[in-house]
Structure 1
Amino acid sequence: MPSHPSTIGLHPTMHTTIFKTVGIVGTGAMGRGIAQIAAQAGSIVKLMDAQAGAAEKAHQALFSQWDKLVEKERISPDAAHAHKARLRVAGTLADLSDCDLVIEAIVERLDIKKALFAQLEAIVPAQAVLASNTSSLSVTAIAAALKHPERFAGYHFFNPVPLMKVVEIIAGLKTGADTCHGLSQYARQMGHTPVQAQDTPGFIVNHAGRGYGTEALRIVSEGIADFATIDRILRDQAGFKLGPFELMDLTGLDVSHPVMESIYHQYYEEDRYRPSVITAQRLAGGLLGRKTGEGFYRHEGGVAQVPAEAPPPVVAEMPPVWVSPRAARRSELLQLLKNLGAHIETGQSPSPQALTLVAPLGFDITTVAVVERLDPARTVGIDMLIDDATTKRRVLATNPATRSDMRDAAHALFARDGKAVSVIRDSGGFVTQRVVATIVNIASDICQQGVCSPKDLETAVTLGLGYPMGPLAMGDRYGPTNVLEVLFNMQTVYGDQRYRPSPWLRRRGAIGLSLMHEES
């Protein structure tokens, strides 16, 4: 075994690939994707699968994929020919004996992975690197039985591999620094961006992604809004490409719910990661999403059948409007009302006829009405966390006592300029506030735990989850102090430890630092 770890798997000529010959064990969607980009990077790639005929099938599929890329003029015929010439089928593990790197992409079971790597360690050369594409298992645990765990690391790609341009490199407790360095260089040669993560549950992307779906499920479970409304709000107001329920239908609950449970239990029932009974029930009932034709939406021909949004109500006579002096972005809200043609009251308290508007951060409408001694029957809330000019949708919230005529008046008023409006039931933090705050808080705690650097976190989440911006940048844009206020107030409303602010966020917010700031 190597006495000079600085030479692990590396080749001195930088005009060639870092790893000349790469073995791929497991030729499902992930294995095929990794094999494709490895061959395209110039490596000889050997496909191996324990299932009879699977490696040959993957070999044929990759040939067809390169032929399609030629037809679409994405690559030249010469390039396709070269890629094909580098792709081989390995009949047994012993055929991987000349590999510089072996990447495993098999079933997510610790016992099976450990047994595989014990075999591989006895087969491959002393300088070879072993890597697992595990998405949720401990890298340290997989490597525990190896004689030389310093040459083993996690190498987590995302599906579809050729399009998802990020790879997490996970160091176990005994992984050598040079092993990670070599894998990082190779990721770049394959056209991917490497990010470095410590061996913690969910690594970076699956860990950081806990806030989006779980908080949306929490909102549904409180009867605040339905799936389609929450998806519309988070797309149109917060700027996400897919709503959380659209996303879960796309990935499938057979994939997403076990990850929720795994991270929750691996963190010893940490409240921030608590899963939902909603997904557990739907998984048990086979409502997995697009792959089964029904999930949170019914799918026909791969297209979600989303219920149409009701038009704004028609209100013959609009009441005057009074705005709470404690409203967030009060001056902007008053200007918006003026632009919409509202009759604005300016007294210290609203008249008996007035529609009363509040714009809290984190508090629910009921709490604000009680604290400010407002008539709850005439009180409606509006989410003003995000500048109205930058959003495609406004979100209003009623409380249990809000009269239907006041609800309809507020809806009609804020829809006057044609912008979409959603009306939800009372919620601490509306929808966007609580989801954004949860995302930012979990990301902050990832940095606090030292799982990765703030820079790698932002890169991994932006590329791996497709968020409109990294979660720390999101917190900076909307203001760490505002996010803190949302969390503190939500914790007051719900009494739930899931909303307790991370020290990373609390300290930076308190002294006006960017969430990207690292201590010197």
Structure 2
Amino acid sequence: MIIGIIGSGAMGAGIAQVAATAGHTVRLLDQTDAALARAEQSIRANLHKLGEKGKLSVAAVEETVARVQPTRDYLDFSDCGLVLEAIVEDLGAKQQLFRQIESVLSVDCILASNTSSLSITSLAATCQHPERFIGIHFFNPAPLMQLVEVIPAVQTRAGLAQEVKQLLHTWGKVPVLAQDTPGFIVNRVARPFYGEAIRILEEGLTDAATIDWAMTELGGFRMGPFALMDFIGHDVNYRVTESVFTAFFYDPRYKPSFTQKRLLEAGYLGRKSGRGFYEYREGAAQPEPNRDPNLGRMVLHRILVMLINEAAEALAFQVASKEDLELAMTKGVNYPKGLLTWADELGLPNVLRTLDQLYDDYREDRYRASALLRRLVRTEQSFSPSVSLPS
């Protein structure tokens, strides 16, 4: 199968590298020769690093690079079996793109979007043949991150999602199936990791360094929420939060924060700009956390129960299966364990008690406990080995 990729930025180039490494000819399209040249240099550099580590031979590196064919012409997609866009995260721009390219594609070509939060159904509705449209959401950097979310639209033909999952398996990826709901799995379930951490900071309960320390040293997360937001970039992270909040009809569970918005407005985007929640200029001193274990456990538990509640709500509304929810959070954002497994270890009554206490304190819907979680506690069940969903 020949693969077409539209957009040669970091994500598009990364997906092209993955497909080419799996043996596919890849047509990589962008508007300028300079952008395509940068993408080729990036792919070549990444593959050479693998060669230096002994994971690819010199010949394999050159063969893989040669399989990526840069182009500025949509007509080069006429013999592709899959075309995937990875352009700017803007609904109008993506819809216009699909209207332009669909006429040159073969009737059996799969058309896909790498969007992280936009409606797959809205994108499919732009197409003359929406039954062949699907969401295929890679995580950055695509060559390294195992998880890929597969999201059928309302119009997607039966069986296509499984075909795409099988293809992604041959690319060495871990695909999970998600409903076409805002944020899909990861960008929905992970919102409290950022939002509740900022809320704790805004209330003056402790500082960013202490929260990050609690989540990494006590919780086992690879990065704390503030370091991770700085790494992702506030231009990206804030706008995903804002998008999910709007798409969920302003549900307060996903409400963005003024603190992060002010960083965005100031141009303090994190590592890419040299300043975010932390300073990244050369010689800048990093703040020391308060390593009080009691404070740290309070921070960890508060954020963790919010994450668990979001995972329970996603399961209750059948956004994904339990198995795919657990895979998504461990493979997609490298959580130390699945949130539903973690909930069982903490004890569901303890999780519910904390949520109810937060709700009593704040009287805000952001702290409302999932009905599924409450029902499991009432019936003395757990998330393992299986959960009977409400009828």
Match of 2:6 among 13, 17, 25: 25
Match of 1:193 among 167, 174, 178: 174
Equivalent residues of 2:110, 2:132 under 8 A apart: yes
Alpha-carbon distance in structure 1 between the residues aligned to 2:133 and 2:275: 40
Which structure 2 residues correspond to residues 287-436 of structure 1 after superposition, within 5 A? 287-301=268-282, 305-309=285-289, 394-396=293-295, 430-436=298-304
Give the equivalent residue in structure 1 for 2:224.
243
Deviates more, 1:480-489 or 1:291-300: 291-300
SS at match of 1:307: coil
Alpha-carbon distance in structure 2 between the residues aligned to 1:500 and 1:310: 30
Give the equivalent residue in structure 1 for 2:253.
272
CA positional deviation for 1:304: 7.4
Equivalent residues of 1:114, 1:145 under 8 A apart: yes
What residue identity is the alignment partner of 1:77? V
SS at match of 1:177: coil
Alpha-carbon distance in structure 2 between the residues aligned to 1:470 and 1:237: 16
CA positional deviation for 1:141: 0.4
What residue identity is the alignment partner of 2:347? G
What residue identity is the alignment partner of 1:307? P
CA positional deviation for 1:86: 1.6
Deviation string, structure 1 residues 258-299 (Cα, Å, up to 9, x no partner) = 111111111011111111110011111111111111111111
Give the equivalent residue in structure 1 for 2:383.
515
Match of 2:42 among 52, 61, 66: 61
Give the equivalent residue in structure 2 for 1:368.
none
1:172 is the counterpart of 2:71: no
What residue identity is the alignment partner of 1:446? A
Residues 310 and 223 (structure 1 numbering): CA distance in 2 closer, same or farther, change over 3 Å? closer
Alpha-carbon distance in structure 2 between the residues aligned to 1:462 and 1:220: 26
1:222 is the counterpart of 2:90: no
Deviation string, structure 1 residues 71-128 (Cα, Å, up to 9, x no partner) = 2322112322321232212230111111010010001111111111122221111111
Deviation string, structure 1 residues 366-410 (Cα, Å, up to 9, x no partner) = xxxxxxxxxxxxxxxxxxxxxxxxxxx6114xxxxxxxxxxxxxx
Give the equivalent residue in structure 2 for 1:256.
237
Residues 462 and 139 (structure 1 numbering): CA distance in 2 closer, same or farther, change over 3 Å? same
Match of 1:81 among 59, 62, 65: 62
Give the equivalent residue in structure 1 for 2:307.
439
Which structure 2 residues correspond to residues 46-195 of structure 1 after superposition, within 5 A? 46-195=27-176
SS at match of 2:45: helix
Alpha-carbon distance in structure 2 between the residues aligned to 1:67 and 1:113: 33
SS at match of 2:16: helix
What's the RMSD between the two structures over aligned residues? Answer: 1.7
Give the equivalent residue in structure 1 for 2:321.
453
What residue identity is the alignment partner of 1:230? I
Alpha-carbon distance in structure 1 between the residues aligned to 2:288 and 2:123: 49
CA positional deviation for 1:52: 4.0
Give the equivalent residue in structure 2 for 1:492.
360
Give the equivalent residue in structure 1 for 2:349.
481
Alpha-carbon distance in structure 2 between the residues aligned to 1:60 and 1:290: 23
Alignment length, in residue pairs?
388
What residue identity is the alignment partner of 1:519? S
Residues 79 and 235 (structure 1 numbering): CA distance in 2 closer, same or farther, change over 3 Å? same
Deviation string, structure 1 residues 1-27 (Cα, Å, up to 9, x no partner) = xxxxxxxxxxxxxxxxxxx10001000
Deviation string, structure 1 residues 157-187 (Cα, Å, up to 9, x no partner) = 0000111100000011011132212211111
Alpha-carbon distance in structure 2 between the residues aligned to 1:55 and 1:274: 38
Alpha-carbon distance in structure 1 between the residues aligned to 2:12 and 2:290: 45
Residues 309 and 157 (structure 1 numbering): CA distance in 2 closer, same or farther, change over 3 Å? closer
Equivalent residues of 2:209, 2:288 under 8 A apart: no
Match of 1:204 among 185, 200, 222: 185
Equivalent residues of 1:233, 1:395 under 8 A apart: no
Deviates more, 1:165-174 or 1:461-470: 461-470
Equivalent residues of 1:22, 1:46 under 8 A apart: yes
Alpha-carbon distance in structure 2 between the residues aligned to 1:78 and 1:507: 58
CA positional deviation for 1:309: 4.6
4+ residue segments displaced more than 6 Å = none
Alpha-carbon distance in structure 2 between the residues aligned to 1:71 and 1:234: 34
Alpha-carbon distance in structure 2 between the residues aligned to 1:67 and 1:433: 43
Alpha-carbon distance in structure 2 between the residues aligned to 1:170 and 1:490: 33
Residues 165 and 508 (structure 1 numbering): CA distance in 2 closer, same or farther, change over 3 Å? same
Task: Compare the two structures and name the one with the higher helix fraction.
Answer: 2
Alpha-carbon distance in structure 1 between the residues aligned to 2:110 and 2:358: 47
Name stretches of at least 5 consecutive residues in structure 2 with no aligned partner.
none
Residues 458 and 305 (structure 1 numbering): CA distance in 2 closer, same or farther, change over 3 Å? farther
TM-score, with length taken from structure 1? 0.72
Give the equivalent residue in structure 2 for 1:471.
339
SS at match of 2:104: coil
Equivalent residues of 2:210, 2:290 under 8 A apart: no
CA positional deviation for 1:256: 0.4
Alpha-carbon distance in structure 2 between the residues aligned to 1:122 and 1:306: 54
Q: Which structure has the bigger radius of gyration?
A: 1
CA positional deviation for 1:310: 6.6
Deviates more, 1:441-450 or 1:504-513: 504-513
Residues 304 and 434 (structure 1 numbering): CA distance in 2 closer, same or farther, change over 3 Å? farther
Deviation string, structure 1 residues 223-257 (Cα, Å, up to 9, x no partner) = 11111111112222222221111111111111101
Alpha-carbon distance in structure 2 between the residues aligned to 1:103 and 1:443: 28
Equivalent residues of 1:505, 1:515 under 8 A apart: no
SS at match of 2:345: helix
SS at match of 1:131: strand
